[in-house]
């Protein structure tokens, strides 16, 4: 599921996210259900996404924000299934490139 889950996970003090998680539980319990955050998960520095989906692969280090403590980075990751390599990358995180000074 590539982003925009529950519109928004944190709405109504997280109850909207709780309801959505209960709704997807039957599907997610029977097939792999991989997620990546979108712009609707960005409130509170993606805190609800980060905490709710801590079981996603973490092959890109850790996150260290006051809201999280230090937790595995589930904001981008990859995994193999058979001969296919899957990559989850969110475009909601700003990446800044600064060329080297001459």
Residues 32-62: tens digit of each pLDDT: 888 888 888 877 778 888 888 877 777 666 7
Burial, 101: exposed, middle or buried (Cβ in 10 Å; 0-12, 13-18, 19+)? exposed
CB 43 within 8 A of CB 52: no
**Opening angle at CA 49, ends 69 and 58, nearest 5:** 65
| pLDDT, mean over the chain | 80
Whole-number pLDDT of residue 42? 77
**pLDDT band at residue 94, thresholds of 50, 70 and 90?**
low
- Give the integer Cα–Cα distance in Å for 62 and 80: 21
- Give the integer Cα–Cα distance in Å for 59 and 73: 8
């Amino acid at each position: 599921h590539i982003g925009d889950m529950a519109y928004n996970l944190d709405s109504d003090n997280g109850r909207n996210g709780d309801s959505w998680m209960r709704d997807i539980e039957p599907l997610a319990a029977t097939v792999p259900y991989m997620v990546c955050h979108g712009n609707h998960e960005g409130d509170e520095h993606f805190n609800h996404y980060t905490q709710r989906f801590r079981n996603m692969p973490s092959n890109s280090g850790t996150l260290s924000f006051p809201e999280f403590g230090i937790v595995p980075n589930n904001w981008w990751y990859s995994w193999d299934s058979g001969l296919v390599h899957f990559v989850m990358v969110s475009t909601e995180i700003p990446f800044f490139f600064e060329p080297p000074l001459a």
